[in-house]
Amino acid sequence: VTDLRPGELAAELRELLPAMAVLTDEPDLRARARDWWPLARLREVRGDRLSLPAAVVLPRSTDEVAAMMAWASRTGTPIVPRGLGSGVCGAVTPSPRSVVLELSSMDRVLDLDRESRLIHVEAGIRGDDLEAALAAEGGTLGHYPQSMAISTVGGWISAWSAGQASPGYGQIEDRLAGLTAVLADGSIVRLTPRPRHGAGPDLRRLFLGAEGTHGVVTEAHLAWDAADPRIVWRAFGYPAFETVLGAGRDVLRAGIGARVNRGWDETDTRHGFADQTDPDRPCLGVVGVAASAPGLDGRLDAVARMAAEHDGREIDAGVGERWWSRRLDAVDAFERLMGPRRELGPGSLIDTFEPAALWRDLPRVYRSVRAALEAHTSEVRCHFSHVYPTGAALYFTFVLREATDDQVERVYLAAWRDALAACQEQGGSVAHHHGLGRVKSDAWGADVGASAADLMRRIKGALDPAGILNPGVLGTPDRLPRLNGAGRSPSR
Ligand SMILES: Cc1cc2nc3c(=O)[nH]c(=O)nc-3n(C[C@H](O)[C@H](O)[C@H](O)COP(=O)(O)OP(=O)(O)OC[C@H]3O[C@@H](n4cnc5c(N)ncnc54)[C@H](O)[C@@H]3O)c2cc1C
């Protein structure tokens, strides 16, 4: 590990890469000292002294990233790749001797291939800017995370992101045709875009969900579609969450081609759709189909038939439309609750957990995780929006209210510990599209299993033998005190 002091380190970097921005002022470091992990936000508003990185660098090209990584490898400097820090699990938590390598200045569109419908971008491009570039061509990526305007393509790949229209457009892996990454030693790997290929293993997957531990993704080739924003909605009330899940599964399996297919449990329906609650059918399900889909009426008839088979009763379809128009509101809501305003007051904390499971295990995962969270929290709600032939992801939102911020941190950590254990006991995976970060890092080994963990350690050893890329994440050793057990920094 480098023994340069922060000032010397920055001077050396400026000499090495004079054109690259190297930030060392405290407000700049502070702004990159955390992501949107609710516990990090709590600690910040509580006044804890966050661990600041030694510097933040803002490269402008793959070559600059390569030079930066070669330097980091020579000096043993830990590097924390960062998009815009919208991750919610603490994956961007720099240690005092680390350098944050933020991709936000690499935000250009490099090429647009209209015939193949591919766009080649730098990895720091923000989601909404990418959509705007495609909209100018009459296109869309179809990847719409709620955090569109505060996240980057590199972050999407690295956290294995999922968008809200995933039933129609797939997840980020379905859009990712090729990429460029820089490994720990500074070597550049270019994975050429292909529609699909069988020439050996799919190396793109080394970077999907790697949370910055395998390399720095600097460019991506993404597949896009013709924009077709008009959606026809159908909405149904169901007697229980299990029945909405069943309808969602059957709509998917029937190949109706729904663009959106989601359902809410009773508490989440009450929370989001107070005016839609029906005592007999307190759970809501909505399906949205592209208005231009061939045979639209037949598809909508099939949706209604499947809903009826699961005891669904049709309600005003406007509920789907209203949800869609509010789908990006979560960023403001989260900021109001966990930012300086703390609208729920001191001692409050809100977080989300997105386990994935096979259909056969899903009802048990739902019940067990819900019970584990309920034991610690004042409110638990759940919905699903990502469905697959073999299973689905659940999305729990949980709210904690304790007397003080110190108490809530203790309860929060206990809630996570029990929810993760409950999920894994029932055969679920603890991450679908948020990654593991620090809050779930202890669950990583059990999630993938011993043999896969061993293989991943060997791959990590080959790609980054000194362990300089995002230490502490994905089972890699950390030089920081454990964040999810040790509590706050002593020196506030
Ligand atoms: C209110 C809110 C709503 C959200 N909704 C969604 C949603 O609907 N769907 C969804 O998938 N996620 C959602 N998220 C989570 C978050 O936006 C995603 O995880 C996103 O992919 C992170 O992108 P980022 O650019 O901010 O990455 P960061 O948070 O900066 O980084 C995330 C991880 O990726 C690594 N990383 C970032 N860039 C690179 C790179 N170029 N090369 C290598 N590693 C890199 C980091 O080291 C870190 O491990 C939401 C977050 C918030 C706060």
Residue 147: pLDDT band with limits 50, 70, 90: very high
> 425-454: buried (b, 16+ CB within 10 Å) or exposed (e) per residue?
ebebbbbbbbbbbbbbbbbbeebbeeeebe
Question: How high is the pLDDT of residue 279?
Answer: 87
Question: How high is the pLDDT of residue 113?
Answer: 98
Amino acid at 387: V
Residue 484 has pLDDT above 70, yes or no: no
| Distance from residue 465's CA to the centre of ligand 1 (Å) | 25
> 157-166: buried (b, 16+ CB within 10 Å) or exposed (e) per residue?
bbbbbbbbbb
Per-residue pLDDT of 432-467, as tens digits, reads 999 999 999 989 999 999 999 999 999 999 999 999
Residue 308 has pLDDT above 80, yes or no: yes
Question: How high is the pLDDT of residue 274?
Answer: 86
| Distance from residue 311's CA to the centre of ligand 1 (Å) | 38
Per-residue pLDDT of 381-400, as tens digits, reads 999 999 999 999 999 999 99
Across the chain, what does the average pLDDT equal?
A: 94
Contact of 419 with 369, CB cutoff 8 Å = yes
Our mutation pick for probing the ligand 1 site, out of 79, 103, 146, 483, counting the most ligand atoms within 8 A of Cβ, is 146
Residue 185 has pLDDT above 90, yes or no: yes
Per-residue pLDDT of 80-95, as tens digits, reads 999 999 999 999 999 9
State the average pLDDT over residues 160-175: 97
| Distance from residue 282's CA to the centre of ligand 1 (Å) | 33
**Helix extents (H) in 136-230:** 153-159, 166-169, 172-175
Atom of ligand 1 nearest to the CA of 435: 19
Write the CB contacts of 331 (distance below 8 Å, at least 6 apart in sequence): 146, 147, 149, 150
Residue 488 has pLDDT above 50, yes or no: no
Our mutation pick for probing the ligand 1 site, out of 39, 64, 101, 151, counting the most ligand atoms within 8 A of Cβ, is 151
Is 86 a pocket residue for ligand 1 (Cβ < 6 Å)? yes
Per-residue pLDDT of 342-371, as tens digits, reads 999 999 999 999 999 999 999 999 999 999
β-pairing, 99-102 with 79-82? Answer: parallel
State the average pLDDT over residues 191-215: 96
Question: How high is the pLDDT of residue 4?
Answer: 65
In sign, the C-alpha dihedral spanning 44, 45, 46, 47 is positive
Atom of ligand 1 nearest to the CA of 81: 47
Residue 483 has pLDDT above 50, yes or no: no
Residue 376 has pLDDT above 90, yes or no: yes
State the average pLDDT over residues 23-44: 96
| Distance from residue 209's CA to the centre of ligand 1 (Å) | 10
Residue 2: pLDDT band with limits 50, 70, 90: low
Nearest to 358 by CA among 335, 317, 390: 390
- Among 141-155, 199-213, 476-490, name the one with the lowest average pLDDT: 476-490
Residue 3: pLDDT band with limits 50, 70, 90: low
Which helix (H) or strand (E) element contains residue 41? helix 38-46
Question: How high is the pLDDT of residue 394?
Answer: 98
Question: How high is the pLDDT of residue 477?
Answer: 72
State the average pLDDT over residues 24-50: 95
| % pLDDT > 70, the chain | 96
Amino acid at 384: F
Residue identified by tokens 């991709």 is: 103
| Distance from residue 151's CA to the centre of ligand 1 (Å) | 6
State the average pLDDT over residues 282-294: 97
Q: What is the DSSP letter of 384?
A: E
Residue 489 has pLDDT above 60, yes or no: no
Tally the C-alpha atoms within 13 A of residue 415's C-alpha that lie toward its C-beta: 29
CA–CA separation, 372 vs 426, rounded Å?
A: 12
| Distance from residue 438's CA to the centre of ligand 1 (Å) | 14
Per-residue pLDDT of 216-271, as tens digits, reads 999 999 999 999 889 999 999 999 999 999 999 999 999 999 999 999 999 999 99
State the average pLDDT over residues 283-296: 97
Backbone angles phi, psi at 127, to 5 degrees: -55, -45
Write the CB contacts of 322 (distance below 8 Å, at least 6 apart in sequence): none
Residue 486 has pLDDT above 70, yes or no: no
Atom of ligand 1 nearest to the CA of 157: 21
